[in-house]
Amino acid sequence: MMFKNLLRRKLRTLFALFGVALAIAALVALSAVTEGMLLQLKRLATDYRGDVMVQATGVLDPLFSQLPFDTISKLRELPEVKAAYPVVSYLTKVPRLGTAAQNDPDKMRYFLVFALPSGSALLKRHKLVAGNYFSTGMPELILGADAAHQMNLKVGDRLLLSHTQFSIVGIFKTGIRLLDGAAIYSIQEFRRIFSNAKLNLVALDLHSPKTDLTTVIDKINADHTELEALESAKILDHFRHAALFQNFANGLSIIALCIATLGILNVMMMSIHERTREIGILRAIGWPAGMIVKMIVSEAFLLALAGGFLGAWLGWAGTELLISSVDIGIVNALYPPALWIKAAVLTVSVGVIGATWPAWKALRISPLEALRYE
Amino acid sequence: MNDVIVDFQNVSRFFEEGRVRALERVSLKIYRGETVAVTGPSGSGKSTLLGLMGALDFPSSGEVKIMGSAITPDAPLARLRNEKIGFVFQQHHLLPHLNLEENVMAPLRPARVPLKEARAKSRELLDRLGLADRADFLPAKLSNGERQRAALARALINDPQLILADEPTGSLDSANGEVVVERLLRAAVGKTLVVVTHNPEISSRMGRVVQILDGRLIET
Ligand SMILES: Nc1ncnc2c1ncn2[C@@H]1O[C@H](COP(=O)(O)OP(=O)(O)O)[C@@H](O)[C@H]1O
Ligand SMILES: [Mg+2]
């Protein structure tokens, strides 16, 4: 019976259905991408950590931090510091197929590059699946496995990067998309290519992190106004971009869901208005209030559910399409069970909220009045 | 015979904040087995009276009891209407998107009568009203008379104690009207029937005639 009622106004029903589908799709896509990005950043933050991270004061995001190289020597002077090393990353362009000529802009792609001190513990965290780490004094790099696959490159090939012919000496795999789509070469080479370059972050290892952590952070923040020291464990909080994105994603999802709810509400209100007489008839032949509510709620539910399934699929398909079309591995999606549960709960809520007021309205219909007029 | 089915005591029903006095101080008892015609000019309050008998409405003052149950907003009226009362309106009031069979069995839903049984009952009634070959038609595809007969089948399917019909033949030709009246009278054997009608021929076949004028009752 509820099918019949929904099918009676096909266009309107389709509209509401797509409203729900779009809302759920937006929710799924945005949440999946946010989740994926957060995971990337989290793993990045845990892999690229000293006990303390130092960035330039007041930057929105550690990735935008710019510091002079002498910051490292300044920080090494602190007695609590065991080691201080620079972290550099930048975005550049390379030929889409690694070996192709570089004169066709259409065949170029964005590419993320890291520079790290050769022999550093940080570098060693990038486990090699082929070849060796780079040696100093040579234009050599190691390439992430995803990048190698996408650009069809292997150990022994060359890659023109930042106007320098690098030879690929190793392929690494970390499981972090952002890194596996990137290349790493030595800080020394970086400083040779970009003579007045800055670094992004300084990672500090402490002799006794448990006792000295806050002392060191306070000391740096007090003595160097241009520096901002952060506890590595908390660095994720400082990826304000991520937080912003998450808020944005949540906000957008909420708006989408409100619109979807209004869509269902509208369809159900119109349908009940049109069916005032029918509801009056059902009351007159003795259908109890509960049955009438159930009829209306199931209609709204069916609508929301169909929209929800369609939306979940659209969201997933859209996200995967987006990911496969973006060069750098910044965009990554994750679909934890919680995401699907969230989508399901919200779909159900949209249905229930969209049905409550119409159902209440329907119960207010006096059978006699409904049947009185033609 | 002294089973009181309908019991009105000083019943008034006002609309528009008392400006329209549809019924005024009506007292009336109808007993099991009675067949009653309600007559009166248009706008005199006949439908209002029948709506109160059918537990579709509440009195503004006074007391309405149907088969012993007081008709108040917090009484279980849906059940009373479903199980004990069959209502035929002036218009057929069939559900437009359900076919005849589905329409006729709609009152069986609240009691969760199994589909097969409901279907069989519905078919049987339609058959007796000469609508066997129309069971899977939508109401829009039928003639007025067929629709009204289907509405009658729906009113009778729960074998109600009290059958109420508000000008059931008003929109019908005499042949169809005759079928409906005939059927109503047959269903009313051992039950109670109240029919609103302008037709003296129909009134004459009822055991008792009640007349309404300007919301007041005149028994004849
Ligand atoms: N819901 C209502 N609101 C306002 N006035 C009503 C309503 N129902 C009935 N009336 C008025 O009450 C009077 C009696 O109506 P009704 O019982 O339908 O008369 P009848 O069936 O005898 O033609 C009429 O004047 C009618 O306009
Ligand atoms: Mg009337």
Domain chopping of chain B, boundaries = 4-219
Rg (CA), chain A: 29
* Residues near ligand 2 ion, CB 5 Å cutoff: B 47
Burial class (CB in 10 A: 0-12, 13-18, 19+), A324: exposed
> In this structure, are A14 and A81 located in the same domain?
no
Q: In 10 A of CB B107, how many CB atoms?
A: 26
- Domain of A341 in residue numbering reads as 2-41+242-371
Q: Are A222 and A314 in contact (CB under 8 A)?
A: no
Q: Between chains, do A367 and B56 touch, taking CB under 8 Å as contact?
A: yes
Q: What is the mean pLDDT of residues B152-168?
A: 94
> In this structure, are A125 and A175 located in the same domain?
yes
> In this structure, are A196 and A85 located in the same domain?
yes
Burial class (CB in 10 A: 0-12, 13-18, 19+), A105: exposed
- Phi-psi region at A147: left, alpha or beta (left = phi > 0; alpha = psi -120 to 50): alpha
Comparison of pLDDT for B185 and A41, the residue scoring more: B185
The partner residue sitting opposite B87, judged by closest CB among A284, A287, A291, is A284
- Please give the C-alpha separations between residue A295 and each of A13, A270, A282, A291, B211, in angstroms, as whole numbers: 16, 15, 11, 6, 41
Q: Between chains, do B81 and A285 touch, taking CB under 8 Å as contact?
A: yes
Looking at CA atoms only, how far is residue B94 from chain A in angstroms? Answer: 8
Q: Does B115 touch chain A (CB under 8 A)?
A: no
Q: How far is Cα A48 from Cα A205, in angstroms, rounded to an integer?
A: 11
Q: What percent of chain B has pLDDT over 90?
A: 81
Q: What is the mean pLDDT of chain A?
A: 83
> In this structure, are A287 and A269 located in the same domain?
yes
> In this structure, are A322 and A173 located in the same domain?
no
Strand pairing partners for A12? none
Chain B residue with the nearest C-alpha to that of A276 = B95
> In this structure, are A59 and A13 located in the same domain?
no
Strand pairing partners for B39? B211
Q: What single DSSP character describes residue B205?
A: T
Question: Which of A212, A237, A262 is the C-terminal boundary of a domain?
Answer: A237
Q: Does A293 touch chain B (CB under 8 A)?
A: no
> In this structure, are A67 and A106 located in the same domain?
yes
The set of residues, in sequence order, having a beta carbon less than 8 Å from that of A111 and lying 6+ positions away, is A91, A92, A93, A94, A147, A161, A181, A182, A183, A327, A328
Helix (H) or strand (E) run with residue A350 in it: helix A337-364
> In this structure, are A105 and A176 located in the same domain?
yes
Extract the tokens encoding A243. 């937080």
Residue whose CA is closest, atom 7 of ligand 1? B15
Q: Are A47 and A180 in contact (CB under 8 A)?
A: no
Atom of ligand 1 nearest to the CA of B51: 17
- Under CATH, which architecture does the B4-219 domain have? 3-Layer(aba) Sandwich (3.40)
Residues of chain B contacting residue A291, judged by C-beta atoms under 8 Å apart: 109-110
> Which of B11, B15, B26, B213 for mutating ligand 1's site (highest number of atoms within 8 Å of CB)?
B15
Q: What is the mean pLDDT of residues B152-172?
A: 92
The number of domains in chain A is 2
Q: Are A270 and A26 in contact (CB under 8 A)?
A: no
Q: How far is Cα A89 from Cα A194, in angstroms, rounded to an integer?
A: 13
Q: Which of B69, B95, B99 to mutate to test the interface with A (most CBs of A within 10 A)?
A: B95
Q: Does B111 touch chain A (CB under 8 A)?
A: no
Question: End-to-end alpha-carbon separation of chain B, Å?
Answer: 20
B18 lines ligand 1 (CB under 6 A): no
Question: Which of A237, A262, A292 is the C-terminal boundary of a domain?
Answer: A237
Q: In 10 A of CB B213, how many CB atoms?
A: 12
One DSSP character per residue, B14-28 reads EETTTTEEEEEEEEE
> In this structure, are A208 and A252 located in the same domain?
no
Residues of chain B contacting residue A281, judged by C-beta atoms under 8 Å apart: 93-95
> In this structure, are A181 and A283 located in the same domain?
no
The set of residues, in sequence order, having a beta carbon less than 8 Å from that of A93 and lying 6+ positions away, is A108, A109, A110, A111
- Please give the C-alpha separations between residue B137 and each of A298, B101, B128, B140, B150, in angstroms, as whole numbers: 26, 8, 17, 8, 11
Q: How far is Cα B55 from Cα A284, in angstroms, rounded to an integer?
A: 9
Of the candidates B81, B77, B135, B131, which has an alpha carbon nearest to the alpha carbon of residue B105?
Answer: B135
Q: In 10 A of CB B1, how many CB atoms?
A: 6
Q: Tell me, what's the ipTM?
A: 0.92
The partner residue sitting opposite A289, judged by closest CB among B78, B82, B89, is B78
> Which of B11, B46, B48 for mutating ligand 1's site (highest number of atoms within 8 Å of CB)?
B48
Which single residue is written with the structure tokens 């005759």?
B178
Q: Is the pLDDT of residue B55 over 50?
A: yes
Q: Does A282 touch chain B (CB under 8 A)?
A: yes
3-state secondary structure of B42: coil
3-state secondary structure of A75: helix
Q: Is the pLDDT of residue B58 over 60?
A: yes
Atom of ligand 1 nearest to the CA of B215: 14
Rg (CA), chain B: 17
Q: How far is Cα B11 from Cα B49, in angstroms, rounded to an integer?
A: 9
Number of residues that this document lists for chain B: 220
pTM of the model: 0.70
Between A and B, how many residue pairs show a Cβ–Cβ distance under 8 A?
61
> In this structure, are A179 and A278 located in the same domain?
no
Atom of ligand 1 nearest to the CA of B42: 23
Which single residue is written with the structure tokens 């509400």?
A265
Q: Are A371 and A277 in contact (CB under 8 A)?
A: yes
> In this structure, are A300 and A205 located in the same domain?
no
Q: Are B36 and B208 in contact (CB under 8 A)?
A: yes
Burial class (CB in 10 A: 0-12, 13-18, 19+), A79: exposed
Q: Are A122 and A85 in contact (CB under 8 A)?
A: yes
Q: What single DSSP character describes residue A97?
A: S
Q: What is the pLDDT of residues B28-41, one digit of tens each?
A: 999 999 999 999 99
Task: Work out the pLDDT band at B152, boundaries 50, 70, 90.
Answer: very high
One DSSP character per residue, A208-260 reads SHHHHHHHHHHHHHHH-TTEEEEEGGGGGGG-HHHHHHHHHHHHHHHHHHHHH
Q: What is the pLDDT of residues B78-101, one digit of tens each?
A: 999 999 999 999 888 999 889 999
Q: Between chains, do B79 and A288 touch, taking CB under 8 Å as contact?
A: yes
Of the candidates B20, B26, B75, B32, which has an alpha carbon nearest to the alpha carbon of residue B50?
Answer: B26
Question: Which of A176, A204, A237 is the C-terminal boundary of a domain?
Answer: A237
Q: What is the pLDDT of residues B102-142, one digit of tens each?
A: 999 999 999 999 999 999 999 999 999 999 999 999 999 99
Looking at CA atoms only, how far is residue A6 from chain B in angstroms? Answer: 11
Q: What is the mean pLDDT of residues B41-46?
A: 94
Q: Which residues of chain A have pLDDT under 70?
A: 1-8, 47-50, 60, 62-63, 98-106, 233, 235-242, 326-331, 373-374
